Amino acid sequence: MTALRVPIFPLNTVLFPGGLLPLRVFEARYMDMSRDCLRHDRPFGVCLIREGKEVGAPATPEPVGCLARITDWDMHQLGLLHLTTLGGRRFRILSSEASAQGLVSADVELLPPEEAVALPARFAPCARLLELVVADQEQPVFAEPYRFDDAAWVSYRVSEVLPLPPATKQGLLELPDSLSRLEVLLRFIQQRGVVAG
């Protein structure tokens, strides 16, 4: 598979395919990265931080991340860029390097997109949880269209909304198929009594 070269934005959060991620950008390296991505209509990679911090010296990212495409931006005050991004394909980092400015760039291989699978009936509580989230929020928390009957879409959205540690969310991102992910999520929902039934 041909490697793709992308800038990496290491964060203390996990982005899933199809997920919305608002970002506030103020460091010069990420301002430049955002401008370049907007100019060339290119994505950047979002990875959970394995070691280090979001600000300052380049952080060490987890090897599996998710592409992010900027869908909207504004700058209400000088030096602070507000981005709306949408998660794309998952990827695995093959090699990476940091520029003098501290921006990490990586050669990545795209992981296969998950097959479209109808949501099995036993995972109905997962879809019900998402319906409750949508009904409860005034602002959209998910990108449309909503696909409550699609196993991959449901598994990614539930992974986003449950109060799980970042390392657990990273493990869910790395799982190769949506049904395995849903099994983990359903156990959590049932143990915590998040939704009835």
**Among the three residues 110, 139, 166, which one is the final residue of a domain in this structure?**
110
**Spacing of C-alpha 63 from chain mean position:** 14
* Residue of 94, 102, 71, 72 whose CA lies nearest to 3: 94
Whether residue 70 contacts residue 85, with contact meaning beta carbons closer than 8 Å, is answered with yes
- pLDDT reported for residue 37: 95
What is the C-alpha separation between 75 and 96, in angstroms, rounded?
30
- pLDDT reported for residue 197: 44
- pLDDT reported for residue 78: 77
Q: Which amino acid does the sequence have at 162?
A: L
Residue 153: give the domain boundaries. Answer: 121-192
**Among the three residues 110, 145, 167, which one is the final residue of a domain in this structure?**
110
Query: Residue 89 domain-assigned?
Result: yes
Binning the chain into helix, strand and coil, the percentages to the nearest 5 are: 30, 35, 35
Intervals of the chain under pLDDT 50: 196-197
Whole-number mean pLDDT of the chain? Answer: 91
